[in-house]
Amino acid sequence: AQSVAQPEDQVNVAEGNPLTVKCTYSVSGNPYLFWYVQYPNRGLQFLLKYITGDNLVKGSYGFEAEFNKSQTSFHLKKPSALVSDSALYFCAVRADTGRRALTFGSGTRLQVQP
């Protein structure tokens, strides 16, 4: 079985400050990890993924995420938040073998205040 936990329903941050959105996972085998963002009335958009290699992966819109195998975490980060980053963020995981389907977390709403 595979699962994702996003422990924070909402994260509030001031514009210009760094942001972190937390994600921990459970999977049998090596994980493939993804972050998606959902804006109101829009579909989910891919931000970044970790498959193998460097633990720090860079993605769209200045976002990055750090894979930590010992803590089974894949936290999303951005050095300087923008008001336009306000959206719903989802972490997802699948194992490197077996089922292709991604398992998503319940989402974290990011609110960036001007």
Nearest distance in Å: CB 100, other proteins: 6
105 binds other proteins per the rule CB under 8 A = yes
Q: Which is nearer to other proteins, 38 or 73 (CB)?
A: 38
Q: Which is nearer to other proteins, 44 or 82 (CB)?
A: 44
104 binds other proteins per the rule CB under 8 A = yes
Do residues 39 and 90 lie in contact, with contact meaning Cβ atoms separated by under 8 Å?
A: no
Question: Which pair of structure tokens corresponds to residue 78?
Answer: 């951005």
Residue 109, classed as helix, strand or coil, is strand
99 binds other proteins per the rule CB under 8 A = yes
CA angle centred on 52, ends 95 and 6, rounded to 5°: 55
54 binds other proteins per the rule CB under 8 A = no
Q: How far does CA 23 lie from the centroid of its chain?
A: 6
Binding mask 12-41 for other proteins (x = CB under 8 A): --------------------x-x-x----x
Neighbouring residues of 7: CB distance < 8 A, sequence distance ≥ 6: 22, 24
80: part of which helix (H) or strand (E)? none
Residue ranges in contact with other proteins by CB under 8 A: 4, 32, 34, 36, 41-46, 49, 51, 90, 92, 96, 99-107
